[in-house]
Amino acid sequence: MTLPVVLDSDGLDALCHPSPPPAFRALLREAYERRRDVLVPAVVCAEACRGAARTRGVEAAVARHASSRGQLPAVRVVITDFDLARQVGAVLHGAGAGSADMVDAHVLAVCARHGGGLVVTADAGDIERLAQAVPSARVVARPAR
């Protein structure tokens, strides 16, 4: 199984930035070389879409592609359907966490669906704590910068 890259807010912010940090660009380059999917939970977009300017940045980042050459956006937005919501609940319950960890729990739920993932996050400690609830998933956390 090829494990994906999953963007938390830190990763999505880096993707939206006009000059993404070198560490983030290196992570995505490695993801490209290893043919990994790049995913972002929709709820992470909700966290980032605050204010018109930031919202436009997110819209551009997740939609950027050349459709004339058959491309689709490089980043796949993962919608929260019932199955994912159930997994989110399981992560929160398993980690003894509350709703304050809702966004990070979505990130872990997306990882769990794929058997794991490389999470780009500024909150590695939170991700590691929640990852205890999904021991079958291999999760690695790295900052974007």
Partner 1 sequence: MAKRKITVTVDEEVVEQAHALGVGPSLSAVVNEALTAHIDRLARRAALGELLDSWDDRLGPASAADAQAARAAFDELDGLTAGQGAA
Which residues lie near partner 1 (CB under 8 A)? Answer: 3, 19-20, 22-23, 25-32, 34-38, 64-66, 69-76, 116-119, 124, 127-128, 131-132, 137-142
Q: Are 61 and 16 in contact (CB under 8 A)?
A: yes
Q: Which long-range contacts (CB under 8 A, 24 or more apart) does 75-79 make?
A: 75/7, 75/15, 75/38, 75/39, 75/40, 76/37, 76/38, 76/39, 76/40, 77/39, 77/40, 77/41, 77/42, 77/45, 78/39, 78/40, 78/41, 78/42, 78/110, 79/42
Provide, rounded to whole angstroms, the least separation between the CB of residue 129 and partner 1: 9
- Residue number, 31 or 109, with CB nearest to partner 1: 31
- Residue number, 33 or 51, with CB nearest to partner 1: 33
Provide, rounded to whole angstroms, the least separation between the CB of residue 90 and partner 1: 17
- Residue number, 26 or 100, with CB nearest to partner 1: 26
Provide, rounded to whole angstroms, the least separation between the CB of residue 34 and partner 1: 6
- Residue number, 52 or 69, with CB nearest to partner 1: 69
Provide, rounded to whole angstroms, the least separation between the CB of residue 47 and partner 1: 20
Largest interatomic CA distance in the chain: 48
